[in-house]
Amino acid sequence: MTQPTQAPLSPAAGSAAAASAANAASEAPAPVPAARTSHPAPNTDGIWYASYPADVPHDIDVAQYESLVQFFDECTAKFRERVAYVSVGANLTYGELGRKATAFAAYLQSIGVKPGERVAIMLPNTFQYPVSLFGVLKAGAVVVNVNPLYTVRELAHQLKDSGAQTLIAFENFAKTVEQALPGTKVKNVIVTGLGDLLADGLNPKGRLLNFMLRHVKKMVPAYNLPQAVPLLTALSTGYTRPLIPMRAAHDDIAFLQYTGGTTGVAKGAMLTHRNMIANLLQAKAWAERQLNGEVETVLTPLPLYHIYSLTVNALIFMGLGGRNILIANPRDIKRVMMIIRHEKFTGMTAVNTLYNAFLENEEFRKRDFSNLKLAMAGGMATQKAVADRFKAVTGKPIIEGYGLTECSPIVSMNPVDLTSLRDFEGSIGLPAPSTQVRFRKDDGSWANIGEAGELCVKGPQVMKGYWNRPEETAKVIDDDGWLATGDIGVMDSRGFIRLIDRKKDMIIVSGFNVYPNEVEDVIAAHPDVREVAAIGVPDAAQGERVKVFIVRRNPSLTAEQVIAHCRKNLTAYKVPKLVEFRDELPQTNVGKILRRALRDEELAKQKPA
């Protein structure tokens, strides 16, 4: 699935009064929708239903579950004996997952975590993530997903902005946590090691793994967090405490899922229980006819803290009683191949760059794919060359769709049966059930078939708004509930959507959003930089890479110094790969730097090649 502007995969806004009441309860101001001129409905409305597979419903029943907690409890009871997750060669059953999540929820309540309180989770793909995730939800709190690779600056911003008072983190990143805590509201810190939940740490393999990472490979930097509680201690306490059931309502916030938008300031998209239930039911209705085996196994190399993997892998496959193979570090392709060497997975999700890396591996190319039913792409645009090669190697197509954090994340999907019969064509598919899609032209009117416009979405998966940012919410959600995505697209007569341009300046590196303002702000803080502009340039491996143009204050400043400065303040995928120094940057008559002019220059250079 493609994220905004073919980047990473993210209830329609209600009345102002209802939004105000709901947000007041959760300490967030109500979204204030902007009034926009009303125009007649376009002739594109609903035309996509004629292209739906016969057994896919036009609408889904969001009232099927009152909360994600009800969904979780139903799945863990129904599939109690099945394996839910596989990690580091160990299994975690649905029954054990339910027991551990309940214990963790009881522990959180015992230390004073209240309903609606934000709890940050900073974990990679290990057993600890689903245990923490569903434990937080069962305690009635709000999950704040955090990328474990964040720098101190990035983590501090997210903790301060969300107001999180509790943080669960991998001990490998505890040093970053220590440095980021000053100025935040965090008072509870829970730390865990990779081997902790392999039989609750009693398994010799788990203890050995922790010893190796801490003392042999030195992958756990020394840290000082005197208030930190080991996760195993938290669970032991939780097992002895009763859980006070928390009944979440549809409009209660389940996740603050951070996304930067075009401003570079990370904003928390308020995703409610209704939003998430709607999206998992929309996707489940679309794919379950394909995934109808006794036990479906999905390969999960994308991080579960990412909205795409969270919805598709963690939630949809849970509804199917599926088995998730967790990959903690997908960049280590050799290790990934070792993990899946004897696995016969029926589904997989990945971004274009990861599919490409798999295809470069000889062992992957030689494996048996007869069990594979569904390969899904998300996070960035899938390149035709990669899709064609994947089909040649596996005999199966890559199913691409489109989504964004603000839509929980799925907006559109390609039908599995139709896609399997035609070559990859780059369409992002048809609107999901219960989803309306229109294209707004520059004059504010709705585009018709074949006319380009900004893709706008309306449906039960559309976020409640941005946390504590009513003005930003009003910029993207109008008074009729239409969310403006910032992407320019067009719909054909069959209802299929194609993205043709991006309205945003967002850069997409290996499926992750990089916001030019953030990169520019970090570089501009360097004393030897006078002006800076950041753009994305096409890259065969990563989709795009970051290039910066700098006007130096000190002529001796080097590209190596710029990159070293960025590495101290930005996650690796945000660090510029290309640095060009100039005497001046193109600007408007009021002094605004023209990123598009720089981007056009770069594209022109590449055309002859």
68-93 pLDDT tens trace: 999 999 999 999 999 999 998 899 99
pLDDT (average), residues 276-288: 94
The pLDDT of residue 235 is 97
**591: confidence class by pLDDT, cuts 50, 70, 90:** low
Residue at 273: amino acid letter: H
Rounded average pLDDT over 259-275 = 81
* Residue 510 φ/ψ region, left for φ over 0, alpha for ψ in the -120 to 50 degree band, beta for the rest: left
Q: What is the DSSP string of 345-357?
A: -SEEEE-HHHHHH
For residue 141, the enclosing domain spans 4-28+47-476
CB 169, CB 145: distance < 8 Å: no
**CATH of residue 578:** 3.30.300.30
Q: Quick one: average pLDDT of 373-400? A: 87
Q: Which has the closest alpha carbon to 245: 134, 410, 106?
A: 106
Q: Which pLDDT does position 605 carry in this prediction?
A: 86
Q: What percent of the chain has pLDDT over 90?
A: 69
Which of 476, 494, 528 is the last residue before a domain boundary?
476
Q: How much is the pLDDT for 14?
A: 33
Kindly state whether residue 510 falls inside one of the protein's structural domains: no
Mean pLDDT of the chain, nearest integer:
88
pLDDT of residue 506: 80
Confidence of residue 16 (pLDDT cuts 50, 70, 90): very low
Residue 472 shares a structural domain with residue 525: no
Mean pLDDT for the stretch of residues 276-299: 90
Read off the pLDDT of each residue in 149-157 and give the average, rounded to a whole number: 94
Same structural domain, 429 and 522 = no
Are residue 20 and residue 145 in the same domain, yes or no?
yes
Average pLDDT rounded to a whole number, residues 409-416: 92
C-alpha Rg value of the chain to the nearest Å:
23
Residue 319 forms part of a structural domain: yes
Q: Tens of pLDDT along 93-125?
A: 999 999 999 999 999 999 999 999 999 999 999
pLDDT band at 393 (very low <50, low <70, confident <90, very high): very high
Instruction: Return d(Cα 606, Cα 197) in angstroms, integer.
Output: 50
Task: Flag whether 499 is in a domain.
Answer: no
Look at residue 259 and tell me whether its pLDDT is greater than 90.
no
Better-scored residue on pLDDT, 328 or 1: 328
CATH number at residue 219: 3.40.50.12780
Q: What is the mean pLDDT of residues 214-221?
A: 89
Q: 448 with 522, same domain? A: no
Domain count, the chain: 2
Sole residue written with tokens 């509804």: 319
223 with 341, same domain: the answer is: yes
Q: Are residues 520 and 441 in the same domain?
A: no
Average pLDDT over residues 393-404: 92
pLDDT confidence of 294, banded at 50, 70, 90?
A: confident
Residues 184 and 137 in one domain: yes
In angstroms, rounded to a whole number, what is the distance separating the alpha carbons of residues 255 and 269?
Answer: 8
Distance CA 505, CA 560 (A): 25
Q: Is residue 440 scored above 60 in pLDDT? A: yes
In a domain, 268, yes or no: yes
Q: Which of 196-200, 214-218, 233-237, 529-533 has the largest mean confidence?
A: 233-237
Q: Which amino acid is at 385?
A: A
pTM of the predicted structure, to 2 decimals? 0.84
Which position has the higher pLDDT, 306 or 442?
306
Q: Look at residue 203 and tell me if it is in a domain.
A: yes
DSSP string, 524-573: HTSTTEEEEEEEEEEETTTEEEEEEEEEESSTT--HHHHHHHHHHHS-GG
Q: Residues 355-376: what's their mean pLDDT?
A: 94
Please give the average per-residue pLDDT across 288-297, as a whole number: 84
Is 88 in the same domain as 160?
A: yes
How high is the pLDDT of residue 420?
Answer: 45
Run of H or E including 363: helix 362-366
Do residue 469 and residue 570 come from a single domain? Answer: no
Is residue 433 a contact partner of residue 57, using CB atoms and an 8 Å limit? yes
Same domain, 306 and 439: yes
**In a domain? residue 137:** yes
Cα dihedral: 391, 393, 394, 395 (round 10): 50
Q: Is residue 106 part of a domain?
A: yes
350 and 213 in a common domain: yes
261, part of any domain: yes
User: Mind listing the pLDDT tens digit for each residue in 22-48?
Assistant: 333 334 444 444 445 557 888 899 999
Q: Are residues 398 and 446 part of one domain?
A: yes
User: What length is written for the chain?
Assistant: 609
Lowest-confidence pick of 344-358, 454-468, 503-517: 503-517
Nearest CA-CA partner of 118 in 33, 209, 48, 184: 184
Average pLDDT score over residue span 344-372: 93
The rounded distance, in Å, linking the Cα atoms of 171 and 174 is 5
> What integer pLDDT is reported at residue 459 of this predicted model?
98
Confidence of residue 201 (pLDDT cuts 50, 70, 90): low
